[in-house]
Structure 1
């Protein structure tokens, strides 16, 4: 089962297909960011790494 690379929470395969980057990293999930802002938070965290 995939996990969020930021907080370590488990996410579904479907969530990973939608929100993972091109390398398969999941930089935000519903446990560590607001539902409405997951894509934006993931982009910000990717720029910071």
Structure 2
């Protein structure tokens, strides 16, 4: 089951398909990021790693 790498909250397979990075890791989810900024936060967090 996919989970957010930042807060470890479960995310759906569909959410992971849309917002995961090339390695399949989800860096932001609706629990730890504003819905309108998930894509931007995901990119920022992925660059920090």
TM-score by length of 2: 0.95
What is the aligned length? 49
- Stretches of 4+ moved more than 6 A in 1? none
Gaps of 5+ in 1: none
Gaps of 5+ in 2: none
**Distance (whole Å) between structure 2 residues aligned to residue 16 and residue 47 of structure 1:** 18
**Root-mean-square deviation (Å):** 0.6
What does residue 13 of structure 2 align with? Answer: 13
TM-score by length of 1: 0.95
